Each structure stands twice: as C-alpha cells, then as structure tokens.
Structure 1
C-alpha cells in the first residue's frame, strides 16, 4: 500500500480519476492531506471547512478544488451549504472535535458540540450524499474517520471515546442499509496521528511514552498512513469491503 502515497501513480493504482469527492474537515491535518491526494489522483474535490483562510490557501495549492465554508454543528447551515452540492461519488467524513475532560467534569456544552460534529454531522452529510447516489442509481463509497478511542478507553476522553464508538456502529448500520444501493461504508480507526494538533498534544515525552508503550510498532501514525488507508477504501480495490472498522494503529488494539 505504500505505493499509493506518491501522487504520480495514485490514479493508476486506484482508478479514482474522474470521480467527485466531498471531504469534511478539509482545512487542516488529515482532511487537508486527503484533499491534496484526491486532487493529485484526478478527483474533483469539494472541500468543506469552517475556516475560510484554510480553504483559501487550499484552493491556491490545489486549483479546481471547490471550497465550502460551513460550521458542521449548524444543521440548517449545512442543509443550505450542501443541500445542492450535486453529484458526489466519494465521501470522507473527517471533521471532528476533541474536548478532553475527566468523566466527573464532563459538561453539557462539551457533549453537545462533540456529538453535533463527530456524529450528527456525519449522519446529515452522509444522508445528503447517499440520497443523491440513490436517485442517480450510482454506486458510491463513504469513509468515516473514527479512532482507536472508539474501542479502547482512554483517560479524560469520555466524550470522544463515546462519540467515536457511536460512529463505528453508525458505520455498520449505514453499510447494512446502503449496501443494497451499491454504496459501501467503512471507517478507519487511527492511533495518534502526527498532524500539527497531534504533535502539540503529544509533544510531552512522558505523556507520549505512556501511549507508545502500548503500540507494538512503537510509533505514532503519519498522516500519509491514514490517507493511504482511506484511498484504498474509497477505491474499487476494496469493492467487497463494507461495514468494516480498519485500525491504523500500529497494533494498539491488538495489545
């Protein structure tokens, strides 16, 4: 799968050229790299972010990308922004927020924003895309970006673990119901990923060691590790895979 990371052969390997994709959380981190990889593969990309400056710089880097600036926690705003987005063949639900609080200090505000973005928006955006695919009689692939936190308890991650656990089951139900329409739905479940946020949150060597000691490969994931897995699940190379939760975790969940 390492060959997928080079833009020169991605389209050849995966056959994604000419399709249209929508990526949420496209301004930074995994989402931004996902847009860049799809653009390099000849995919027409709709990039969704709540930060206009991130979208502006992304469009400069990847001419032809269609920017949509919207706050995914606002149901009505999402309907207005994406309701007429047009034919989308591939969807990556990547946008997420992580509010870390000890269980006894969890607040309603943190719960609401976490579930609004990490779960409810996934349902809403997926409904928009899936309804269009069904109306066109077209096959499609949806990938939800989950986390190892969906399957393993992590201290101070009460809401995040709960939301990602719900996303894993949502993925399975979506696969069950959308499968007859030739729409595949899968999730990727990364460990800590070395995005700018990941580096900031795990820069403390003592904190990092506590997690790295639980990862058999002894390292955190790079962004390309996650992007490659998503590209595979979007492509026809994974045409018999749906309802799966794919760990990209260096063996964390096997430990």
Structure 2
C-alpha cells in the first residue's frame, strides 16, 4: 500500500505581506509566516515599531522587512503594493473599532470604521490580487475578520456591519479569483487579549460575560490565531477558498 503524503506547512520561497503587523494579531501572524520560511513584509502606520520588530526577526535568521502602509489611503496602498509586489500571501490584520449604541453612532465613527475595516480591506485585497494576476501566479489572501462577522454584538452595530461585509466580499472574490489559482479566506477570532482589548478584560462584568460566551472557558491569545493563518497560507489548504475559520472558543456554536 502506498501511503498518502502529508501536506506541507512550509512557506519557503513565498513572499508575504502582513498589514497591521506592528502589534497584536498582525504581529503574531507575521511571526508565524516568517518562522515557516516566508519572506515577510510587515506593514503598518508605525514604521518605528516595525523596524524594531523586523530587526528582532532578522536576528533570528528570518526574512523580514518593514513598510509604512495606511490601508485607509487606498490610492497610496495600491501604489505601494504595486511597487513592492507581487506578494504570494496577504494577511490583512489592520482594523479599528468604535463601539457605541446604534442610536449614538456618529457619521464620523461610521466612516472611520468602514474606511479601514471594509474599504481598506477591500482595496488592499484587490491590489495584491491584481499583482498576482498580472504575474500569472497563484496565491493566498487572508483577511482577519471576526466572530462578529457571523453574530451580533451589543454596542457593535458598525463593527459587525464592517465584518459581515468582509465575509461577503471574500466569498464573491473567491468565485472570481479561483480560476487564477488565487484563494481567499477569512480568520474570525473571538476576543483576543491584546493592548487594544485589555480594558475589556479588566472590567469584571465584561470579562464574566466573555467567559460565559467562550465555551472553552479561557481568554484568547494571539498565538491562537497563528495556526489558522499558517494553514490558510500554506499548501495544506490548497482546496480551501471562500470560507471562514472561526477561532472563537465555541462562541458562535451557541
């Protein structure tokens, strides 16, 4: 009997762009891809933080470079991606949140959230896809969405709207890009402990609510996202496109 060959999770020879890579989930994703052998370009608005991170990565023998990028500026993003691409892998972890009651949402907050989470994500994905298509290359595009792209949340109407929209364009783009061998998926985390969510976890009432909803009964860590992103970036997921991986501890199973 001939046994099947297990798929590889290695990314040697692949070029990856990680947006929102200066901290939190984005930094964790960049670390996972670099450790797996990819040449990783870490992108964010805070270039000083990126340069410090890439210095630590290259000291470990990994391939990493820093790139200033503001996904809300779609014209500059398109030009930057065209200049530095093509990229075989995209991980878009850039995002913002403005949590208020729906009756108190301002147009300014709405535009800020949608400008990054939806408009920025859409046109960054478009830019990387264009580069791959022009080069005749396959690729894997990954948007960090949220469990809130699948369920509702109190005081999160705008945030939920932005993430539901990301789930929608991911499915539509999967149909369009599939014939070119370009896959596109989302990773949908639950609440992950980062500097941005620390205040939520520090509030006893909110933490109790989170622990009731997360069926595995523990706080999410950035390391919990790394395996899902590595899987989607690698040949191990070569038949996976147009779908979402929920890393939510069972939140959406309820």
Please give the per-residue CA displacement for 1:133-161, whole angstroms capped at 9, x wherever unaligned.
11222110011111011111111111111
Structure 2 match to 1:34: 29
Structure 2 match to 1:18: 13
| In structure 1, C-alpha distance between the alignment counterparts of 2:48 and 2:248, rounded to whole Å | 31
| In structure 2, C-alpha distance between the alignment counterparts of 1:104 and 1:157, rounded to whole Å | 11
* SS of 1:62 mapped into structure 2: helix
Please give the per-residue CA displacement for 1:182-229, whole angstroms capped at 9, x wherever unaligned.
101111111001122222322212211112112211123211111111
Is residue 91–residue 141 contact of structure 2 (8 Å, CA) maintained in 1? yes
| In structure 2, C-alpha distance between the alignment counterparts of 1:75 and 1:136, rounded to whole Å | 21
Question: TM-score, structure 2 length as denominator?
Answer: 0.92
| In structure 1, C-alpha distance between the alignment counterparts of 2:81 and 2:129, rounded to whole Å | 13
Structure 2 match to 1:123: 122
Is residue 14–residue 235 contact of structure 1 (8 Å, CA) maintained in 2? yes
Shift of 1:33: 1.4
Structure 2 match to 1:9: none
When structure 1 is superposed on structure 2, of 189-198 and 75-84 the one drifting more is: 75-84
Is residue 194–residue 222 contact of structure 2 (8 Å, CA) maintained in 1? yes
| In structure 1, C-alpha distance between the alignment counterparts of 2:135 and 2:205, rounded to whole Å | 53
Shift of 1:117: 0.7
The alignment yields a C-alpha RMSD, in angstroms, of: 1.4
List gaps (5 residues or longer) in structure 1: 1-11
Is residue 27–residue 51 contact of structure 1 (8 Å, CA) maintained in 2? yes
* SS of 1:60 mapped into structure 2: helix
- Alignment coverage as a number of residue pairs: 244
Shift of 1:59: 1.6
Is residue 191–residue 220 contact of structure 1 (8 Å, CA) maintained in 2? no
Shift of 1:13: 4.7
Asked whether 1:52 is paired with 2:47, we answer yes
List gaps (5 residues or longer) in structure 2: 1-6
| In structure 1, C-alpha distance between the alignment counterparts of 2:26 and 2:85, rounded to whole Å | 20
After superposition, residues 30-179 of structure 1 pair within 5 angstroms as 30-63=25-58, 64-179=63-178
